[in-house]
Chains A and B, each alone.
Chain A
Amino acid sequence: MSSSIEKPVAQKNYAVGEPNGRCRMRRARKAVSLISGVGLAIFGISRRSWTGAALASAGGYIVYRGIKDRTNGITNIIEVSYTINRSAEEIYRFLRHWENILRLVPNLVNVHDRGPGLALIFGGRFGEFEIRTQPIDQRENQFVAWESMADSAFQHRGSLELREAPGKRGTEVTLAFGYQLPGGGLGRGLTAVFGEHPEQQVRGGLRRLKQLMETGEIATTAGQPTGRRGIKGRILESLYREKMPPQGVERSARQPMIVGD
């Protein structure tokens, strides 16, 4: 199956964009990100506890993102692949429905077909915002590719490819996503700590797709009983973030599943 396709979704073709130069802004952001990261790390280390260790690693991560900062244009690319124990046809059919996509993408609350392109409405911790996107290519049961409109607040390109896995293991689903995140290194560091970094979201979305296709539901603990959390418990809860299901998950717990047409 795959040999006949001449890599039409060579992920990087869709995912990489051209850099443009806004060097000073970038350096400033990098500095802020480094300073805040180092501060958080020192505070964390001084706590000498699991909470402290978590804070320290969060700080370290912000520093790391700050150093790695190469924003401007689509230069950040994520490629994630999962094998789903279902046929490409079933997965493709499932993904054609926006109601189903809402259950996969954290904080995606609505989709408007305003033509040209689609408006994706996101909610969540950092307020409501809109991303405008349009499909650029697709082949039934094989791949879809899309990119943001020129006027979209969040510049990105993505592609999703379906390939039969060997040994009747189902379908290899590969998602490539290139993006530019507003706020640079600091933005990325903060979103990462709160679990809203694009990479975490892409990975989580694909995992949810796998769970829904294979089991008919999304594994969750949101809403289960707990004892007293206290301050330490609340901080950890936020870091492990199991009590903050993306909206899709919460909905899946209460609504029947929609599979294909």
Chain B
Amino acid sequence: MKALCWQGKNNVQVETVNDPGILNPRDAIVRITRSAICGSDLHLYDGYIPTMEPGDILGHEFMGEVVEIGSGVKNLKKGDRVVVPFTIACGTCFFCQQQLWSSCDNSNPNAWIAERMYGFSGSGLFGYSHMLGGYAGGQAQYARVPFADVGPIKIPEELNDEQVLFLSDIFPTGYMAAENCDIKPGDVIAVWGCGPVGQFAIRSAFLLGAERVIAIDRFPERLQMAGAGNAEMINYEEVDDVIEVLKYLTGGRGPDACIDAVGMEAHGHGMFSVYDSAKLALRLSFDRPTALREAIQACRKGGVLSIPGVYGGWLDKVPFGAIFGKGLMVRTGQTHVHKYLKPLLERVQRREIDPSFVITHRVSLQDGPEAYDMFKKKQNQCVKVVLDPWKEARAA
């Protein structure tokens, strides 16, 4: 089959690799019909996530048709159309039973690496470094899905691929970020980063009853997309001080909750940003937490700091005093995707949201490497790229 493989920093290639097979009784093989490039894939592309190996198959947002099942999978059959959550979870450990699916104890074969770094290991993920399982990803024509009796959700015929593909990651991720804000009537939510997760966080905040949402980014097309979702917009390059603007916009109270949908590669500005870049150049750090610092500083007293953005290692110059001084509640972590699949699919079925609004580019798998480059450089007003793994095969 064809697959997008990581070959090092800024180097993704289309390669012909073996088709995946069933390795464990609870596996299934899915013929992928649509796959997407995630903002977090750019952290891999930029070489910031440790424990990648040249040759790793990328991709963790995918869906398709079940073509093979292991002896332990009873709830799926060949031909079922499914969306696959990017977190891999066993369904039987303590954490899965608490709905903390992304903390599954049993799905990471390389848990020892994560234990060294974090004390404990989270669940395995598709196509996201060996520390997090080393599972081959879904930017390919087929994928092996472990614990297929627990993860994949069947999709009714009336919905097309693009309407449901993002149930695999970014829609639940944005939704969980908003849910973590404990939104009450009258709440104002500020969202740093209007990439795909930020977009879903904005729309989810409204779905959950937010009064106002303020979106912060620097790319006009992304801010416009946020505006189309009823958010107010701040282009941080056009204002002197985001925190002062937020105060002004909230009657001096500050946002009730702040969502950092940027993560480790914030572009940033000012003195700390230079300091972060210097540390990165010296390989002393992986993370540039500019957005996080701002969100902490801007949040109202007793507010919530919700962090769906990805961080990898040790953060520096994080104003923890402000977290303590204002009594902020911090909520973060990989998305417990399994928990949100059914309720969010129902919202899509009820037409409360059409997640395909975020798609700006549709390309074939063959054009994946250029798409990575375009997405990284945010050229052609790129917000979200969807890959069709079979486009060439159909044309031939």
A residues near B134, Cβ cutoff 8 Å: 221, 240, 242
Q: Would you call A240 and B113 a contact (CB within 8 A)?
A: yes
Task: Report if B209 contacts A (CB, 8 A).
Answer: no
Q: Which residue of the partner chain, among B54, B57, B97, B124, contacts A225 with CB atoms under 8 Å?
A: B57
Task: Report if A152 contacts B (CB, 8 A).
Answer: no
Expressed in whole angstroms, the Cα–Cα distance for A242 and B111 within the complex equals: 10
Expressed in whole angstroms, the Cα–Cα distance for A240 and B53 within the complex equals: 9
Task: Report if A116 contacts B (CB, 8 A).
Answer: no
A residues near B112, Cβ cutoff 8 Å: 200, 203-204
- 10 closest Cβ pairs, A-B complex: A227-B5, A233-B54, A227-B55, A227-B15, A225-B17, A225-B18, A229-B55, A240-B130, A215-B90, A217-B24
Which of B101-109, B213-221, B334-342, B345-353 lies at the binding interface?
Answer: B101-109
Task: Report if A85 contacts B (CB, 8 A).
Answer: yes
Minimum CB–CB distance for A3 against chain B, Å: 24
Q: Would you call B55 and A233 a contact (CB within 8 A)?
A: yes
Q: Would you call A214 and B53 a contact (CB within 8 A)?
A: no
- Which range contains the number of A residues in contact with the other chain? 35 or more
Q: Would you call A233 and B53 a contact (CB within 8 A)?
A: yes
B-facing residues in A214-259 (Cβ within 8 Å): 214-230, 232-233, 236-237, 240, 242, 252-253, 256-257
- Which B residues fall within an 8 A CB radius of A? 1, 3, 5-7, 13, 15, 17-21, 23-26, 50-57, 71-72, 90-94, 97, 105-113, 124, 130, 133-136, 140, 144, 146-147
Q: Would you call B54 and A240 a contact (CB within 8 A)?
A: no
A residues near B21, Cβ cutoff 8 Å: 223
Task: Report if A174 contacts B (CB, 8 A).
Answer: no
B-facing residues in A112-147 (Cβ within 8 Å): none
Name the residue among B24, B56, B72, B90 with the largest chain A CB count within 10 angstroms.
B24
Q: Would you call A225 and B20 a contact (CB within 8 A)?
A: yes
Task: Report if A210 contacts B (CB, 8 A).
Answer: yes
B residues near A216, Cβ cutoff 8 Å: 25-26, 72
Minimum CB–CB distance for A222 against chain B, Å: 7
Q: Would you call B124 and A219 a contact (CB within 8 A)?
A: yes
25 contacts between A and B (CB under 8 A): A85-B92, A85-B97, A200-B112, A214-B106, A215-B106, A217-B26, A217-B72, A218-B109, A220-B109, A223-B23, A224-B20, A225-B17, A226-B17, A226-B55, A226-B56, A227-B5, A228-B55, A229-B53, A236-B130, A237-B53, A240-B110, A240-B130, A242-B134, A253-B24, A256-B71
Q: A224-B20, A257-B25 are in contact. List 4 more A-B contacts (CB 8 A).
A: A217-B25, A221-B135, A224-B23, A237-B53
Minimum CB–CB distance for A84 against chain B, Å: 9
Minimum CB–CB distance for B86 against chain A, Å: 16
Expressed in whole angstroms, the Cα–Cα distance for A95 and B26 within the complex equals: 23
A residues near B124, Cβ cutoff 8 Å: 219
B residues near A252, Cβ cutoff 8 Å: 24
Minimum CB–CB distance for A235 against chain B, Å: 9
Expressed in whole angstroms, the Cα–Cα distance for A227 and B93 within the complex equals: 32
Q: Would you call B55 and A230 a contact (CB within 8 A)?
A: yes
Q: Would you call B72 and A227 a contact (CB within 8 A)?
A: no
Q: Would you call B94 and A85 a contact (CB within 8 A)?
A: yes
Task: Report if A170 contacts B (CB, 8 A).
Answer: yes
Q: Would you call A219 and B106 a contact (CB within 8 A)?
A: yes
Task: Report if A83 contacts B (CB, 8 A).
Answer: yes
B residues near A257, Cβ cutoff 8 Å: 25
Expressed in whole angstroms, the Cα–Cα distance for A92 and B101 within the complex equals: 28
Q: Would you call A214 and B92 a contact (CB within 8 A)?
A: yes
Expressed in whole angstroms, the Cα–Cα distance for A138 and B167 within the complex equals: 51
Task: Report if A87 contacts B (CB, 8 A).
Answer: no
Expressed in whole angstroms, the Cα–Cα distance for A33 and B50 within the complex equals: 28
Q: Which residue of the partner chain, among A203, A204, A218, A226, contacts B24 with CB atoms under 8 Å?
A: A218
Task: Report if A97 contacts B (CB, 8 A).
Answer: no
Expressed in whole angstroms, the Cα–Cα distance for A252 and B27 within the complex equals: 13
Expressed in whole angstroms, the Cα–Cα distance for A236 and B92 within the complex equals: 32
Q: Would you call B51 and A240 a contact (CB within 8 A)?
A: yes
Expressed in whole angstroms, the Cα–Cα distance for A253 and B24 within the complex equals: 5
Q: Would you call A50 and B106 a contact (CB within 8 A)?
A: no
Task: Report if A47 contacts B (CB, 8 A).
Answer: no
Expressed in whole angstroms, the Cα–Cα distance for A214 and B91 within the complex equals: 9
Q: Which residue of the partner chain, among A211, A220, A228, contacts B54 with CB atoms under 8 Å?
A: A228
Contacts A203-B112, A225-B136, A228-B54 given: A219-B94 contact, CB under 8 Å? no
A residues near B93, Cβ cutoff 8 Å: 85, 214-215
Name the residue among A215, A223, A242 with the largest chain B CB count within 10 angstroms.
A215
Q: Would you call A214 and B17 a contact (CB within 8 A)?
A: no
Q: Would you call A225 and B1 a contact (CB within 8 A)?
A: yes
Chain B's closest residue to A165 (CB) is B94
Q: Which residue of the partner chain, among A226, A236, A253, contacts B57 with CB atoms under 8 Å?
A: A226
Contacts A200-B112, A219-B107, A240-B113 given: A228-B5 contact, CB under 8 Å? yes
B residues near A204, Cβ cutoff 8 Å: 112
Q: Would you call B3 and A169 a contact (CB within 8 A)?
A: no
Q: Would you call B17 and A227 a contact (CB within 8 A)?
A: yes
Q: Would you call B147 and A215 a contact (CB within 8 A)?
A: yes
Task: Report if A207 contacts B (CB, 8 A).
Answer: yes
Expressed in whole angstroms, the Cα–Cα distance for A99 and B389 within the complex equals: 43
Expressed in whole angstroms, the Cα–Cα distance for A224 and B140 within the complex equals: 13
Minimum CB–CB distance for B109 against chain A, Å: 5
A residues near B50, Cβ cutoff 8 Å: 50
Contacts A225-B57, A229-B54 given: A214-B109 contact, CB under 8 Å? no
Expressed in whole angstroms, the Cα–Cα distance for A224 and B92 within the complex equals: 24
B residues near A211, Cβ cutoff 8 Å: 90, 106
Q: Would you call A219 and B108 a contact (CB within 8 A)?
A: yes
A residues near B92, Cβ cutoff 8 Å: 85, 214-215
